[in-house]
Structure 1
Amino acid sequence: MFVLPPPPRYPTQAAYNAAVAAGHAAPMIETNNILSNPEDQFLAGEGTYVLKEDLLLATPPPHPSEAPVVNPNPLATTPQPETAGTKLSLVRLDVRAPPPVFNKFTSATTLSSSIAEHPSEGRYSSDAKFSSDGSFRGTSLSEAGQSPSGPSNSTTAASAPAFGDGNPLVAPEKTKDPNKRRKPKNNMTKSNSSFISRVIMNETFSKRLSDHPSDGLFAFANINRAFQWLDLSSATKADYLTKILFTKAHCLCHDVNLVTKSVSHIDMIMGFSTGEIIWWEPMSQRYTRLNKNGVINKTPVSQIKWIPGAENLFMAAHMDGSLVVYDKEKEDAIFNPEEEEPRVSVDTVKDLSKEFHVVKSVQSKNQKHNPVAIWKLSNQRINSFDFSPDNRYLAVVSEDGTFRTVDYLKEDVGEDCRLCLWDFNVGMVHTPKGAPVRLRGGDALQRSETQGTSASRLRSGSQASATEGKESNPIIHPVQSRARTAIIPPVLTKLADKDPLNWVTFTHDSIMTSSDKGRIRTWTRPSDSTTQA
């Protein structure tokens, strides 16, 4: 039997570009992932963290139809595809109890409204979802894996209302079997789309899925124009389950729906440098392409997340400063703004509230096609966004340095450019010597103007109506200088990789990081026996 020799390995794109620029034959890029076990560790207060393994993802070369980059100069003005390094989405298919919800109560009213009167009334807000009949319901702790007879030991938070609550057109369609999930339309492995270059499946795909433990960890990772599905609980974790190579688009972000996941179904969404979005179900290898050819928004997707508790709805941040809500099961249509609010330019004081523009409301009656909602926050790129623990607010960070807190349930916005510190030991926070101390109730926060509905609107226990929230003035103040900003010293500083880090997460037994060049590292947490020793 004749076996071809392995291709030479060039882990960096620079080797490929240099060969093309010099007129030499373009080298092959390593097509297989590489798993190694280098020795490294660092000491923290709770013990020693040991580097368990190092997984280097294969970097795909440019597609043959794509003109190679002749000038690798990073200062060149030639437009390059948007990249985001390597990011991971982790998922376990077993049903686990939700993590403890930590709340810092500020008033007796908030405290009393957050404590369940009976153990069976406990709700976990991040698992709130629509039921099969279209009505909104929350997932109790017993449904999430906790024993129904045992009370919860952790503090629980009241369920937030569903996004679009009050508009039945946003609710998912009824199905005959509520336990059966809808699948995307197209077959990924047999696709003739020019968007997808190639799909490579593991030869023992079915066997590896059947051998996967119920508490095992799946990982989805992107690197340039490649997207991989990995089984991190397998001894051969370097061998991907599925590898998708796209033609020219780079996958920048992705997310897994934790509401709809099961042993036979995973809903994955991916955002691309072309602005397009793919809904992919890896078990059946089926997909649907959304925002095709940028029919709704042509700018790259910098961040994408499922809306907490929703089965169909997810939010994408585009690089033109827009937040767009999509429904994975709806078709796209050419979008025409329903109404344009006048923009007011203020020269002396920048009125940030004017920049929050509802292009299409979630309460709109025109919900036959995507998008479900569009909000224009600014003309600057949105770097990242995330939902608050109570699922009522949205934190958005833009490239212009602003931090926005959005009440996305009411489609309202508040501004706070101050460095906010949550859940830290107050003893760790100290202001620089010589800097005057100003209480939070000072003039900078304009407390006299926000004693009413504005302050109430920013609390998770707010009962203010949408009308009251829109009439109130947002909190706007400049960023404090570094000399006046409290300093939180790091407990530990560790050089985790030679390349810039793109992603970090914490599991029950390890810390995982990914770098700009596709290197995934797993650091084992110290065990009780090691700590005692």
Structure 2
Amino acid sequence: MYLHLHLHLHLQGIMNDSSVTMLKWVPGSEDRWMASFNDGSILLLDKDRDDQNFVGPSYHEEQGFHASKFHKNSRHNPVSHWRVSDKSITAFAFSPNGMHVATVGYDGILRIIEFKTERLQDVFGGYYGRLQCVAWSPDGKYILTGGQDDLVTIWSFVEKRIIARCQGHRSWVTAVAFDPWRCDDKVYRFGSVGEDCRLLLWDFSFGALHRPKQIKGSSGNGPQSPKETHMSSCAPKFEKMIRSSPMPQNINIREPPPKTTTSLPSLGRAGSLSNGTPFARFRRRSSRGPGTATTIATTAVMNTNVPVTTIGPVTAVRQVSPDEHLVTNPTVHPVLTKTQVSVLQPVCSQKIHADPCVDLHFGKSTVVTSDRRGCVRTWGRP
């Protein structure tokens, strides 16, 4: 608690206009830590560097994700600045090997970022509303998210696809976590808490998944829920948007073989994800049919021409080699409807607090939960 408060006050001298949403140490480092903010940015900081007021480049819809890395010999924080979104970053999580960072936020998007190269790798649209929490499995194969759709979603990092949506909460999901002492190659145990004041436990294995329902035609029986109707109408628009939107300009893309650079046409209209949130201008480069990943190009470049405003000592920006301007295209994955995804039910559901829950932690012999009023409870393992 003291460390969290100290770091929060430490950041107030750097980002005066933004509130901190999450703090975490970089895995394997005793000096560097990362902080996310409600303006959609993430900072990498070094505890041994001096502080200064910092205002990074603003988020531009046509630019998308942008990383600004400063000179390694600079005496001032930040070490690096990521402009991830124009909306608040609610949570982020490092992969177990520390090579990737998963972020979620108010725009309802799960982003996978390569930590070392600071490049956006994958983009997944949530089912409905904001995403509020994210967690990696101990082996790094799976990612959990939860949010305002009352669902816990399982994503396969290896296969780059959604695995299942977990139904059981009666309100927004606020925290998800894997149980490292109950995970093996066959079964993964994880838990979730939400504003319904409940703790849910889940056992995930492919054998436990229900087969997704067949997609009904226009003459299918039974009405769809409002959320399902919303998603069914948005999925075709999402695909159409990828096909029709032109490539952004001022990007050099390496396309082997041969190794050449290509000047791209001017920008077109911006696209939007399933919940109507603008994301970036892009178009389809390759497709393998409905429900498959589509490779796109965005302006996720490390551009030293973007102005960086500082108050105090001048921040030295690292010179970027020409090769670093060559973009590795992120992959935008289509949003699937409820009938296209397997459903998982909880193995345990219990009301544990009188107020909405906000956090969950699995210990070796206990489970720790907390609520919005600051009440912390310890539970024996089931």
Normalization by structure 2: what TM-score?
A: 0.50
Which structure would you say has the larger Rg? 1
Q: Which one has the bigger strand percentage?
A: 2
